[in-house]
Structure 1
Amino acid sequence: MTYLWIKALHIIAMVCWFAGLFYLPRLFVYHAMSTDEPSKQRFCVMERKLYRGIMLPSLVLTVLLGLWLLHLNPAWLKMGWMHMKLVLVVILIGYHFACGAQLKRFARNENTLSHVFFRWFNEVPVIFLIIIVMLVVVKPF
């Protein structure tokens, strides 16, 4: 029964984390398009609160609960699908911190990237989500 509670909490934390991963780059699109100072400041506040208040705690919970699940099921570490999932999660964590670095560039008014770049950048977590869910559900190898 404990396993199911941990699994449910892991999924909830992951959904919250992905909500932030989907929304923050969308805010970057609008921030990159803004021209007036009040809008830029408003986006900085929104981005910071999303990143620190939702994304970072959700990332930490997702990882901790995922490690707990691996502790309960160490045999998964011998499976190819889990190796691939863990590699993708590590890359996604890098994406998360790249978003944090970009947030700081916007806050310092040093962004040099266009809204078009952020429109493409916004698609990265979607691709990762699709692959990770397929790996976990189908377990192809």
Structure 2
Amino acid sequence: MEDLLFVIYPWVKSLHIMAVISWMAGLFYLPRLFVYHVEKAGKVQDAPVIFQEMEEKLIRVIMRPAMVVSWVCGLIMVVTPGIIDWGAVWPWAKGVSVIGMTWFHHWLGLRRKDFLMGRNRLTGRQYRMMNEVPTLLMVVIVLAVIVKF
């Protein structure tokens, strides 16, 4: 099994990076859609329905599959012997940040449901502020993996 993990490692790592890029794109874009949904949708006929469809497809078609692939590939890399120094801080910092990113993903899903139910209570400014969450987590993850602090 260890031999197989070493053979597939570069492929798994490549797929992991591609999935993370896709997931991050969605995590950056969905809060921006929410900003426009809050600030502009009421001014154009049928715009709320269009925004809801865009938001739903972004989550279902791009973000959720990308998150699952990111997690699966990440866990495969974690169990590959000799790849991670568990005595260092960086894998723990990355792990906590990835859990934070996953929480944010689910939080966005709940906000989408609020829009569907007509009970969104957040402003465009609040969504703009929340849009910084994945950026901060990304900085921690990239520094952890590259600098290995």
Tell whether the structures are fold-level matches, with TM greater than 0.5: yes
Identity percentage of aligned residues: 38
Shift of 1:73: 3.4
In 1, Cα distance between the equivalents of 2:100 and 2:81?
23
Alignment of 1:116-131 (within 5 A): 116-131=125-140
The SS at the match of 2:121 is coil
Residue 20 of structure 1 pairs with residue 26 of structure 2: yes
* 2:52 counterpart letter in structure 1: C
In 2, Cα distance between the equivalents of 1:31 and 1:73?
46
How many matched pairs?
Answer: 140
Query: What do the CA deviations read for 1:61-101 (whole angstroms, capped 9, x no partner)?
Result: 00000000011136623331001110111111000000000
**Larger Rg, first or second structure (1 or 2):** 2
Q: 2:13 touches 2:77 (CA, 8 Å); kept in 1?
A: yes
TM-score normalised by the chain length of structure 2: 0.90
Alignment of 1:1-141 (within 5 A): 1-33=7-39, 34-35=41-42, 36-73=44-81, 76=84, 77-140=86-149
Q: 2:19 touches 2:70 (CA, 8 Å); kept in 1?
A: yes
* 2:10 counterpart letter in structure 1: L
Shift of 1:43: 0.4
* 1:106 counterpart letter in structure 2: F
> Where in structure 2 are there 5+ consecutive unaligned residues?
1-6
* 1:2 counterpart letter in structure 2: I
Runs of 4+ in 1 over 4 A off after TM superposition: none
Q: 2:19 touches 2:69 (CA, 8 Å); kept in 1?
A: yes
Moved more, 52-61 or 74-83: 74-83
Shift of 1:20: 0.3
* 2:46 counterpart letter in structure 1: P
